[in-house]
Amino acid sequence: VSNAGVGMAGPLECQSLEAMQSLMDTNFFGLVRLVKEVLPDMKRRRGGHIVVISSIMGLQGIVFNDIYAASKFAVEGFCESLVVQALRFNVAISLVEPGPVMTEFEAKVYEEAERADYSRTDPETADIFTNLYLKNSKDVFASLGQTPEDIAEHTLRVIEAARPPFRHQTNVAYTPMAALKHADPSGALMTDAFYKLVFKYDAVLRLSLR
């Protein structure tokens, strides 16, 4: 089970390249290093199961989570490319894709975001992040967040499955979000829906979450 991960949220201009590279080293290359270690023996034994804790943000990018989403997209692409070869050796690969999870990990990301310096971006972007994104994120976590125990139960079901699924989303509230992307290959439907959700109907979103 590959579960190591770090988070990052905020305007792109305010993130250092070093911090981005460090995040990718943990979230993506950490997984690659682990798989390189365990896969050869699994192939020799013709049996094994690699379970990766991914994220719904590996399927759908979220505003102000550019680099974190990129790392999870990399995880998804890596596993999707590898799964067919692995199956030839009777090795299963499963991606567990949670939405928000109420942990110290998430709390730390948002505490750091609230204290960060946003002078390197324009005032409008800084205002959108602090007064729209952070406020909405707190409501999302309070309303839709899962416990670590719930994610562990989902992961256990994937491990014990007779035919392990390649992808397993833990929160049905995010299924429509992921489906928007597949409904319109041009991306216009998804982009328009998210733009309106963030900039036109944010008050309605907060009210409905509460």
**Could you tell me the CATH number of the domain that includes residue 53?**
3.40.50.720
Residue 146 lies in a domain: yes
pLDDT at 172 over 80: yes
Catalytic site residue from 68, 110, 118, 133: 68
Other C-beta atoms lying within 10 Å of the C-beta of residue 56: 21
Residue 13 has pLDDT above 80, yes or no: yes
Kindly state whether residue 1 falls inside one of the protein's structural domains: no
In a domain, 4, yes or no: no
Contacts of 132 (CB under 8 A, 6+ apart): 198, 199, 202
Within a domain: 107: yes
User: What is the pLDDT, as a whole number, of residue 15?
Assistant: 92
Q: Has residue 143 been placed in a domain? A: yes
> Is a pLDDT exceeding 70 seen at residue 164?
yes
Number of domains into which the chain is organized? 1
Asked if residue 6 is part of any domain, the answer here is no
Looking at the domain assignment, is residue 5 inside a domain? no
Domain housing 102: 12-209
68 is catalytic: yes
Residue 40 within a domain: yes
Q: Does residue 207 surpass a pLDDT of 70?
A: no
| Residues 54, 61: Cα–Cα separation, whole Å | 13
Which residues, in sequence order, are CB contacts of 109 under 8 Å at separation 6+? 7, 8, 9
